[in-house]
Structure 1
Amino acid sequence: MNQSQQPDAADPKRRDILRWTVGLSAGLVLAPLAGCDGGSDDSFSATVDTLPEAPRIVAKNGLIDIDLEAAYAHNSVQLAASAQNAYPGESTQQATDLRSYNGAMLAPTLQLNAGDTLRVLLHNKLPGNDTKYSSLPYLNYQNSTNLHFHGLHVNPGIIRPGVYGDYVVDTPDAGVVPGASRQHEIHLPADHTNGVYWYHPHLHGSTTTQVANGMFGAILVNTPRNDFDLPDDVRDRVIFVHRLNLSDGGRSDNLYDYVNNKNSAFMLNGVYQPTIVMRPGEIQNWHFLNSDVFYPFNPVLDEHTLWQYARDGNSFDRVFRPVNAATSVQMDGRHWPGNVLYPGNRSSVLVQASQTPGTYYLRAAKAPSSTGEEIVARIVVEGRPVEAALPSPHRLPLYNAHQPITDAELAQHGGKTRAVILAMLNKDSDLLVQPIPAGEEWFIPPGDGVSLTDTVFATGNVGTKLAPFQSDLAVTQTIALNAVEEWTLYNLNGYPHPFHIHVNDCYVVKVNGEDIEPYWADTIPLAPNGTSDQPTSITFRSRFTDFTGKFVWHCHALDHEDLGMMELVEVRT
């Protein structure tokens, strides 16, 4: 059965407020659910559900073919100036002028099957670049852009003349410049894992600004249930967790604006402390995506356990992992990173509402580099109870491509190991090439008036001098097609840099050299609190299969990426 013929997660048979329409070039557009109100049917809630949901575009005959327009949009949001562990938190209405996709606060969610094709024609309708705001020329292209399909195992190259795959290796002065367009075409392999992924810009030097403004959307492969065979009446929600940091005029136009302005509290799908309504005993399926530039999200729902079944789109090995107040503090040693989602991470969870009606709060609990606990949503449980049982985790899918990478497999495919360093360093550090080559843009100078002056965001292999991505001395990791490798990533800082590699997922096997219960991910927060004398580490294994070409790995704290914490990867035959 083609996915466009299947009942959608929102279940159009059950709610007459849903409407199907034919959308754009190809695909079906499903409008988001409106808020529910009371009435004579006590299965509906008297409280309005205020968590907005993006429209979903569902593949039709194996294809989604859409236009995506990057442009400034004027909106109004309820904004809390800081994180608050109170409900309601103090907030004000703020008019904003921010970059967006298709003029909306929420870009469309794209829903495909493995084996389908996604075609996106990206139009850049942003104004011309201000080439004088920074003394570093590579930061002066804040309105040029491109497009990355985060977490997908797809071709990173140019598919044919004028048609691009998951291509992000543009120079900062290139990409899709204002007034230009670029055609992307992504073909999902037939054995691609189900799960939740996302799309966002990825032009070196401008990524922070554009993602912080809200240029991102979700991708659901197969079904949003991760082929979990949940009943049709289980409501499915995609929830982006994101902060804004704005000037008094409601803008954030460049990287320096992001660095100098103060971050807001967390917002869910662009709303501060929304209300989510559930009936007693009801089960819902939530997909959290941390699209923030820097801050971690550690979800805890008062008096409930969230049953996590997938991380970064990868289902666990027929187990649920509890997410609750007790597990939220388990981040030590082999537990790292616990339940915490760092920028770029996704988590899929089942939540069953208490049989006791009332109000409960979804919180962002404390985590390394967070701002402290805060309430991010109100959960109202009311209405007629539901008789439902959580499904068995034995119904979770298994994938041949995501079987454990054993010592024997590693040895049979070359057994190559790499040791890579991520570090924020003062420009005078002896871990860097000294003297720094004349004319290269390694750090923000004090004259630019930004707090990150004289700091180099560097990478490199253990035993070599470090350098930022924009340097001619930057490392390229060259890998043979079909190789299986083991990488150890060393962190020299207190911040748990979230390492993200494109195209090929990672099988994480060690924290600080100690064996853990392995898991698959594409974004890996490094163990925190490392120093140059005692670095912390994460070790993973990966199969570099199917695709040759150039792509990148980088820190998904996007200001770190834009300032140089990134490396080129090239897979060759």
Structure 2
Amino acid sequence: MKSLFAILLSFLLLLYPANYAYAADATDSIGGPCPYDAINSAVPSYKTYAEKDFKNPEEITSNNGVLTTTLTVKYGDNNIAGCPVHLRSYNGKLVGPTLRVKPGDTIRINLINDLPPQDHPDNHQTNQQTDGGCSYEMETETNNEPHNFNVTNFHTHGLHVSPSGCSDNVLRVMKPRAKDGEPAKEYMIEVKVPDDHPTGTYWYHAHLHGSTALQVSSGMAGALIVEDKEEDKIPEIKNAEEKIFVVQQIVYDQKGEIEDYKPFVPTGWGKSQRHVTINGQIVPMIKMRPGEVQRWRFIHAGIRESIQLELRNDRVQIPLYEIAVDGIALGKLDSWKNSPVELEPGYRSDVLIKAEMLPENQTEETYLLSDKATTSKKLTGGQAS
């Protein structure tokens, strides 16, 4: 690496030890451009997709008390670790845009469901309802089998807001067009954030019963930040550069697609040898100046597996100073010196990180942010085999 007169931090999320082969079923045995192989940093192609500069997701900020945006749900064609993937998405990307608001703001989203027609739309029994001038379809009956993967809705995870009408309503049904050639259907969402709402790190994602796991595992998730936090008045926090980590476990078969729930068995993720992504990136790198302080907002946007985060320089663990959990400020620095920061699906953790000073005659240092190996007994998805 060329000297950049900075401390280099590369985020290498190492999942459970890949000492077993993926038990491919008859469908997977067809093969494709995305084999179930672990990433190999020794091959020339690795540098074409890994260890690129860290990028925060695209950001949309409220203006004069209102955040207005459009989210288009459609198939997106992207690349993960050199593999072409064709997955359901927000706006065609691997991660949704960050929505940044303040207490008292209103979030107005025009959600366009531009997915293909659903084969069996009658799996969701609905009726039309009207609430405060907003008309919407409400689910009245469904089943507990995976179904209707092209039907969606919208949930703000962690916000204390209305769960009814056209707000954060997880029973609302947003169907795609009924027939090919018809225009995509549009749905208005309006979420009013209370004036006294706690500020912090939240997130949003699809949440329709029967298709939640498949859509979230395709990348249909994004950060939602309620800002103007009390601790932002502290100079070290206020002046710290912010990094948002939407940590995802994006699932896809050997064809780069996901059209069923076969990969979601308890040990499916580990056996697939897929790699955790951060904002859609593989092993991104952050460059910091010696002594610089940054604020990192971690969001576990996966659906099953635990993540145990720790920052190391060789064998020495570097403290992550936690200042908030699930959006709630701790009012103190909680230093994780000898244990990892635990993230279960849906968890959020805000930490401060300070790049250490460089030894004399040294121009750079590399740290690894990794997922500490998890024993089978601690796997949220079940016991490893």
Decide: shared fold, TM above 0.5.
yes
Looking at structure 1, the residues matched to 380 and 85 of structure 2 have their Cα atoms a distance apart, in angstroms, of: 31
Looking at structure 1, the residues matched to 211 and 247 of structure 2 have their Cα atoms a distance apart, in angstroms, of: 20
Looking at structure 2, the residues matched to 228 and 49 of structure 1 have their Cα atoms a distance apart, in angstroms, of: 33
SS class of match (2:76): strand
1:165 corresponds to which of 164, 167, 184 = 167
Please report how far the alpha carbon of residue 177 of structure 1 lies from its aligned counterpart in structure 2 after TM superposition. 3.7
SS class of match (1:196): strand
SS class of match (1:208): helix
Identity of aligned residues (%): 30
SS class of match (2:262): helix
**What is the total number of aligned residue pairs between the two structures?**
302
Residue type of the partner of 1:354?
E
Q: Is 2:70 the partner of 1:71? A: no
SS class of match (1:319): strand
Distance 1:355 1:44, change over 3 A: closer
Residue type of the partner of 2:169?
Y
Q: Is 2:55 the partner of 1:52? A: yes
Which digits, 9 at most, give the CA deviation of each residue in 1:213-267, with x for residues without a partner? 0001111102489635445642101101112222111111232354467251222
Name the structure, 1 or 2, with higher relative contact order (CA <8 Å, separation 6+).
Answer: 2
Looking at structure 2, the residues matched to 300 and 315 of structure 1 have their Cα atoms a distance apart, in angstroms, of: 21
Q: How does 1:240-259 map to 2 (within 5 A)?
A: 240-259=246-265
SS class of match (1:322): strand
2:311 corresponds to which of 278, 286, 301 = 301
Residue type of the partner of 1:248?
Q
Paired residues of 2:310 and 2:339 also in contact (CA < 8 A): no
Distance 1:305 1:69, change over 3 A: same
2:276 corresponds to which of 238, 252, 266 = 266
1:327 corresponds to which of 339, 345, 352 = 339
Residue type of the partner of 2:276?
F
Looking at structure 1, the residues matched to 324 and 250 of structure 2 have their Cα atoms a distance apart, in angstroms, of: 27
Distance 1:290 1:67, change over 3 A: same
Which digits, 9 at most, give the CA deviation of each residue in 1:423-443, with x for residues without a partner? xxxxxxxxxxxxxxxxxxxxx
Distance 1:276 1:43, change over 3 A: closer
Which digits, 9 at most, give the CA deviation of each residue in 1:268-288, with x for residues without a partner? 111121111111111000000
Which digits, 9 at most, give the CA deviation of each residue in 1:167-193, with x for residues without a partner? 0024xxx44344422211111111111
Residue type of the partner of 1:153?
H
Paired residues of 2:7 and 2:366 also in contact (CA < 8 A): no
Residue type of the partner of 2:73?
A
Q: Is 2:337 the partner of 1:349? A: no
Which structure 2 residue ranges, 5 or more long, are not aligned? 11-50, 124-142, 178-183, 359-363
Distance 1:224 1:94, change over 3 A: farther
1:112 corresponds to which of 86, 101, 114 = 101
2:83 corresponds to which of 86, 94, 117 = 94
Please report how far the alpha carbon of residue 495 of structure 1 lies from its aligned counterpart in structure 2 after TM superposition. 5.6
Which digits, 9 at most, give the CA deviation of each residue in 1:455-503, with x for residues without a partner? xxxxxxxxxxxxxxxxxxxxxxxxxxxxxxxxxxxxxxx7658xxxxxx
1:203 corresponds to which of 196, 208, 212 = 208
1:127 match: 116
2:92 match: 103
Paired residues of 1:304 and 1:354 also in contact (CA < 8 A): no
Distance 1:223 1:50, change over 3 A: farther
2:193 match: 188
Which digits, 9 at most, give the CA deviation of each residue in 1:522-567, with x for residues without a partner? xxxxxx99xxxxxxxxxxxxxxxxxxxxxxxxxxxxxxxxxxxxxx
Please report how far the alpha carbon of residue 327 of structure 1 lies from its aligned counterpart in structure 2 after TM superposition. 2.2
Paired residues of 2:94 and 2:218 also in contact (CA < 8 A): no
SS class of match (1:284): strand
Looking at structure 2, the residues matched to 225 and 368 of structure 1 have their Cα atoms a distance apart, in angstroms, of: 38
Paired residues of 1:224 and 1:236 also in contact (CA < 8 A): no
Looking at structure 2, the residues matched to 359 and 225 of structure 1 have their Cα atoms a distance apart, in angstroms, of: 33
2:302 match: 292
Looking at structure 2, the residues matched to 130 and 257 of structure 1 have their Cα atoms a distance apart, in angstroms, of: 21
Distance 1:305 1:257, change over 3 A: closer
Q: How does 1:231-246 map to 2 (within 5 A)?
A: 233-246=239-252
Residue type of the partner of 1:68?
L
Looking at structure 1, the residues matched to 250 and 218 of structure 2 have their Cα atoms a distance apart, in angstroms, of: 7
1:176 match: 175
Distance 1:130 1:224, change over 3 A: farther
Please report how far the alpha carbon of residue 360 of structure 1 lies from its aligned counterpart in structure 2 after TM superposition. 1.2
Paired residues of 1:301 and 1:362 also in contact (CA < 8 A): yes
Looking at structure 2, the residues matched to 280 and 495 of structure 1 have their Cα atoms a distance apart, in angstroms, of: 36
2:64 match: 61
Which structure 1 residue ranges, 5 or more long, are not aligned? 1-36, 79-92, 159-163, 329-338, 371-493, 498-527, 530-573
1:142 corresponds to which of 139, 149, 153 = 149
Paired residues of 1:206 and 1:255 also in contact (CA < 8 A): no
**TM-score, with structure 2 as normaliser:** 0.71
Q: How does 1:507-526 map to 2 (within 5 A)?
A: none
Q: Is 2:317 the partner of 1:310? A: no
Distance 1:62 1:279, change over 3 A: same
Paired residues of 1:95 and 1:250 also in contact (CA < 8 A): yes
The structure with the larger Rg is 1
Looking at structure 1, the residues matched to 249 and 77 of structure 2 have their Cα atoms a distance apart, in angstroms, of: 17
Please report how far the alpha carbon of residue 58 of structure 1 lies from its aligned counterpart in structure 2 after TM superposition. 1.2
Paired residues of 1:209 and 1:255 also in contact (CA < 8 A): yes
Residue type of the partner of 2:352?
L
Distance 1:226 1:252, change over 3 A: farther
Distance 1:146 1:234, change over 3 A: same
Please report how far the alpha carbon of residue 140 of structure 1 lies from its aligned counterpart in structure 2 after TM superposition. 2.5
Please report how far the alpha carbon of residue 106 of structure 1 lies from its aligned counterpart in structure 2 after TM superposition. 2.7
Looking at structure 1, the residues matched to 328 and 353 of structure 2 have their Cα atoms a distance apart, in angstroms, of: 18
Paired residues of 1:57 and 1:108 also in contact (CA < 8 A): yes
Which digits, 9 at most, give the CA deviation of each residue in 1:90-110, with x for residues without a partner? xxx101101111112232111
Looking at structure 1, the residues matched to 176 and 228 of structure 2 have their Cα atoms a distance apart, in angstroms, of: 34
Paired residues of 1:225 and 1:285 also in contact (CA < 8 A): no
Looking at structure 2, the residues matched to 225 and 367 of structure 1 have their Cα atoms a distance apart, in angstroms, of: 35
Paired residues of 1:139 and 1:206 also in contact (CA < 8 A): yes
Paired residues of 2:304 and 2:380 also in contact (CA < 8 A): no
